[in-house]
A and B are shown apart, each in its own frame.
Chain A
Amino acid sequence: MSPGVQGVDWLAIGPVLGPAVAALLALAVDAVVGARRTRLVDAIAVAGLLVGLVLLVPQGGASTFCSAPGRCSYVVSSLTLSLQAVVLAAALVCLLLAVGLRDRLPRTELHLLVLIATAGACALAAARDYATLAVALETASLPLVALVALRRDGRGAEAGLKLLMTSVVSFGLLALGIAMVYASTGSLYLGQPVATALGDLRAAHGVGLALVVAGAAFKLSLVPFHLWTPDTYAGAPLPVAAFLSTVSKVAGLSAVVLVLAVGAPERAGDWAAPVGVLAAVTMTVGNLVALRQRTAVRLLAWSTVAQAGWVVLPLAGAVTASRVTSAVSASVGYLLAYVVATLAAFAVVVRVAESHPDGARHPLTAYSGLWRRRPALALVLGFALLCLAGLPPGVMGVVAKIVAIAPVVGVNAYGLVAVAVLNVVLGVAVYLRWAAALVAPGEASSTTGTTPVAHRMALALSAGGCVALSVLPQLVAGVLARVPLR
């Protein structure tokens, strides 16, 4: 691609096109054949995500949509690729969970919305200017409002409304922040050096960054931007809650990392400490509230809040520009471990909800005796919970915790280290409480029917991911190592 020419590198944007084209195809098939051919639509959706995953393999370091050398809107870096891989794989598992549900969700709508949100999250990972970032983040978020309300009952509507309000507010903050950043730097591109040109506008630039991060913090459920999380999770269909806690979180972290680490590494000394405070408050509040939860889905909701704190914790160690790369690598590594373990936990929760009279709102006591009734499910959930708690044999989680704490220890931020240590213990209490229920003597309640193929695949993929990352923890620790971010 010669510089200055508006050309499109189709291979580079393949991971975005895969799900996007599949969404259009699904719509077309629905229009032509009607909604009865569900198998065909399912296959198209799964194929779209798989194509996206496959197209990650031949990627180099391309950039496209460039207006000048170094001013590109879409850049394929190791950061882009690893985030896109997590998004596509997580979306695949969530889709499989949704497809296998007993009371069917409207199929075409489901696929369309999931695929579009996934495409948005993939585009976000590659976005290197603020306009693309804003559009991609909204593409990744707005379909979720409809997804949450897909069950069309009162709770779903309430949950959808909450998410809609949140999205509107967060987009407002985001847009305002972008405007302030643009006004102070004069450039929408993220990869431009900022520090020298600022002068008097330094404060405005800082406020702008803070507003953009606040907008993204809603997606990540960082405290105090988390209030929508528990009700929305509880009202949404479980696979959609899984999507919110995985793909949406990746999108949120992508935005934060792009704005801070790619957009303003020169100001790392200014943003590291506030991010550290956010992380500390988030993990503590999340874990403390999770300790009191009685239903599985609400516990998972608060657990995702706590884990979001862990995900951004390493960024607090980026007090100088030279430490930014390793901090981001740690963040993404932790995110990877978190997503895989959370998907495995959700997969089991979906299965238990299918056979429980209270459905998605089943209490933790529903897990009593699961080890006796369904040993495979109990093993998967137990392993996932140990991964989230960071206890062996969940080596993946242990390594993720090591990786997340290391940057903070490295800069002698002992106050933050103390909070993190406290939260390790709180997390152990949260997850072992649930794990203990698995083995507790419980009613030998009936086990309903066979597990649908889609759910078997989702369980196998997520559990396999947990085991693979525990055997090869290098994948967690070294997800971005040695590659420059810009």
Chain B
Amino acid sequence: MSLLLLLLIAVPLGAALALLLLPRAVGEHLAPSVGVAASALTLGVALLTLAARPWSTGTPVLELDAPWIPAIGARLHLVLDGVSTPLVLLTAGLGLAVTLLTAREAPSGGSVRSLVVCLLVVEGGALATFTASDLLLFFVAFEVVLVPMWAVIRWWGDAHEPGVRHDAAARFVLYTALGSAVMLAGLLLVTLRAGSSDIVALTAAHGAGMGRTTQVVAAVLLVGGLAVKVPIWPLHTWLAPAHTAAPTVGSVLLAGVLLKMGTYGLVRVVVPVVPEGFAAVAPTLAVLGVVGILWGGLACLVERDLKRLVAFSSVAHMGFVALGIASGTPQGLQGALFANVAHGVITGLLFVVAGGLKDRFASARLADIGGGLRDRSPRLGGLLALGCVAGLGLPGLAGFWGEILAVYGSWRDGVFWKTLAVLAVVGTALAAAYLLRVLRAVWHGESDQPVGRDATGVELAVTLPLVALTVVLGLVPWLLLRLTEPTVQHLLGLGRGAV
């Protein structure tokens, strides 16, 4: 059973390596089908891990442990628990989605084989990050996605402006490399002071063995490093160019998988490992999260490019996640994890639609797309409308529960937290305003723009599961909440209790 964890990582990475070593002609020919097969197999493995019932306990249900670098005490230690399971499923699902999209309509810019290799490596690296239970292994896995994602933006990005996409790729890789290097300093500090790099052991110790100063310094380094990836205002400036320049598959992975690695890191290696230090950093993180919510919302109100708009809305949504985590309450953390997954699903959906529109109109500017999409291409228009209303947090859809819980969790004693919660609610109003603005500009009205091709089969095949997930998570949120609840209690060092 524990071998499933190994398969989860070995299947996408192994398939990528095999593709890379095949002769060129064969590799190019086989790449689309190998990519789809490998990611489908990975999704199958991810679903099989549910048989271990990760919702039943707060401690890992699957565990794989082998020596790796004894000299520095690092181990190949993989675990699966209630917090990693939803992200593993999300990653595997989006991995299948992007390989399907590539197989049917590969973006121009280079060989299909190289693109599939990059996508599979990103998937494998993310899965390793979400299951790693050793600080140093976590770091290596965290870094694995960097080069392939850089390549995806640099070569398969926006075909019209090579200079822009080169800049965006360079900015992405340098910002995130800076973030990871800062995080590495924090991870090493924890490892050296606590005498262990094992996350399970460090979580159980709950900060014992580290003085307050050490904890605060480590928390500053870790949160500072991870904040680049999340991204948290004001470290978000790489996000919009990267999303705008990236091809659809890159945007989907960026929003649905890479950003999640940042928030997952906060929940996995900061909150339980240096609790005292995190408590000291949390108010700052909460303020920055709320600034991100408002900043992202205001930027979206004036943004003219649909892809940039979705990117800025990501900053706002991740602000809610940061606020929920910073609240330090079980409700806030649960809400953050829910919002995390909901954002992956909804933004994934929005990026498929926005990317599709950009392919059709050679621009993602709202003015270029023109109005009346519901008449011109009803299916794409409908998908866009659903993504928007889910994004603005309409009750009954996935976007609602995470953000309401994050705000509820941060409604703590004292003016400080209450003010933040109120401001966050203002942010949801902003979200409603900007997403309705998009609907008015693109979905409603009429336009003399030519009628674009409506959603293709593969676009529907990729988006309909996301739509279904949006609705299901909105109607039966306890599916996900029950899954994360015991682990959240464990991470916060609390006994089992009701949400």
Q: Contact residues of A with B, CB < 8 Å?
A: 329, 375, 379, 386, 391-393, 395, 398-399, 401-403, 405-406, 409-410, 414, 417, 420-422, 424-425, 428-429, 432, 436, 439, 473-474, 477-478, 481
Within 8 Å of chain A (Cβ to Cβ): is B125? yes
Q: Could you say which residues of chain A place their CB within 8 Å of the CB of B114?
A: 439
Within 8 Å of chain A (Cβ to Cβ): is B70? yes
The interface centre, meaning the residue of B71, B151, B177 with most chain A CB atoms within 10 A of its CB, is B71
Within 8 Å of chain A (Cβ to Cβ): is B154? yes
Are B71 and A478 in touch, CB under 8 angstroms? yes
**Shortest CB–CB separation between residue A460 and chain B, in angstroms?**
15
Are A473 and B69 in touch, CB under 8 angstroms? yes
Are A478 and B178 in touch, CB under 8 angstroms? no
Main secondary structure of the interface of A (DSSP, over half): helix
| 9-residue interface stretch from B83-91, B136-144, B372-380, B465-473 | B136-144
Within 8 Å of chain A (Cβ to Cβ): is B174? yes
Q: Could you say which residues of chain A place their CB within 8 Å of the CB of B173?
A: 428, 432
Are A402 and B139 in touch, CB under 8 angstroms? yes
Are B144 and A478 in touch, CB under 8 angstroms? no
**Can you list 21 A-B contacts with CB-CB less than 8 angstroms, sorted by A residue number?**
A379-B20, A392-B147, A393-B121, A395-B140, A398-B140, A398-B143, A399-B140, A402-B139, A402-B188, A406-B191, A406-B192, A409-B189, A414-B217, A422-B178, A425-B178, A432-B147, A439-B110, A473-B69, A474-B69, A477-B69, A477-B72
Q: Could you say which residues of chain B place their CB within 8 Å of the CB of A399?
A: 69, 72, 140
Q: Could you say which residues of chain B place their CB within 8 Å of the CB of A425?
A: 174, 177-178, 181
User: Which residue of chain A lies nearest to B146 when distances are taken between CB atoms in the complex?
Assistant: A391
Are A386 and B72 in touch, CB under 8 angstroms? no
Determine the distance from Cα of A420 to Cα of B180 in the docked complex, in whole angstroms: 12
Are A391 and B151 in touch, CB under 8 angstroms? no
Within 8 Å of chain A (Cβ to Cβ): is B480? no
Chain B 118-136: CB-based contact to A (< 8 A → 1; otherwise 0)? 0001000100000000001
**Shortest CB–CB separation between residue B333 and chain A, in angstroms?**
28
Are A421 and B146 in touch, CB under 8 angstroms? no
**Shortest CB–CB separation between residue B426 and chain A, in angstroms?**
36
Determine the distance from Cα of A334 to Cα of B24 in the docked complex, in whole angstroms: 35
**Shortest CB–CB separation between residue A306 and chain B, in angstroms?**
15
Main secondary structure of the interface of B (DSSP, over half): helix
User: Which residue of chain B lies nearest to A424 when distances are taken between CB atoms in the complex?
Assistant: B181
Q: Could you say which residues of chain A place their CB within 8 Å of the CB of B24?
A: 375
Within 8 Å of chain A (Cβ to Cβ): is B478? no
Task: Knowing A424-B177, A425-B178, A477-B69, say if A391 contacts B143 (CB, 8 Å).
Answer: yes
Within 8 Å of chain A (Cβ to Cβ): is B483? no
Q: Could you say which residues of chain B place their CB within 8 Å of the CB of A424?
A: 177-178, 181, 184
User: Which residue of chain B lies nearest to A427 when distances are taken between CB atoms in the complex?
Assistant: B177
Within 8 Å of chain A (Cβ to Cβ): is B170? yes
Are A421 and B189 in touch, CB under 8 angstroms? no
**B72 contact from A403, A414, A417, A420, Cβ within 8 A:** A403
Are A481 and B71 in touch, CB under 8 angstroms? yes
Q: Could you say which residues of chain B place their CB within 8 Å of the CB of A402?
A: 72, 136, 139, 184, 188
User: Which residue of chain B lies nearest to A479 when distances are taken between CB atoms in the complex?
Assistant: B71
User: Which residue of chain A lies nearest to B190 when distances are taken between CB atoms in the complex?
Assistant: A409
Determine the distance from Cα of A474 to Cα of B346 in the docked complex, in whole angstroms: 42
Within 8 Å of chain A (Cβ to Cβ): is B150? yes
**Shortest CB–CB separation between residue B79 and chain A, in angstroms?**
21
User: Which residue of chain B lies nearest to A409 when distances are taken between CB atoms in the complex?
Assistant: B188
Q: Could you say which residues of chain A place their CB within 8 Å of the CB of B72?
A: 399, 402-403, 406, 477-478
User: Which residue of chain B lies nearest to A379 when distances are taken between CB atoms in the complex?
Assistant: B20
Determine the distance from Cα of A406 to Cα of B150 in the docked complex, in whole angstroms: 27
User: Which residue of chain A lies nearest to B188 when distances are taken between CB atoms in the complex?
Assistant: A409
User: Which residue of chain A lies nearest to B23 when distances are taken between CB atoms in the complex?
Assistant: A375
Within 8 Å of chain A (Cβ to Cβ): is B80? no
Are A405 and B136 in touch, CB under 8 angstroms? no
Chain B 42-80: CB-based contact to A (< 8 A → 1; otherwise 0)? 000000000000000000000000001111101000000
**Shortest CB–CB separation between residue B163 and chain A, in angstroms?**
13
Determine the distance from Cα of A244 to Cα of B121 in the docked complex, in whole angstroms: 36
Q: Could you say which residues of chain A place their CB within 8 Å of the CB of B121?
A: 393
Task: Knowing A402-B188, A405-B184, A425-B174, say if A474 contacts B68 (CB, 8 Å).
Answer: yes
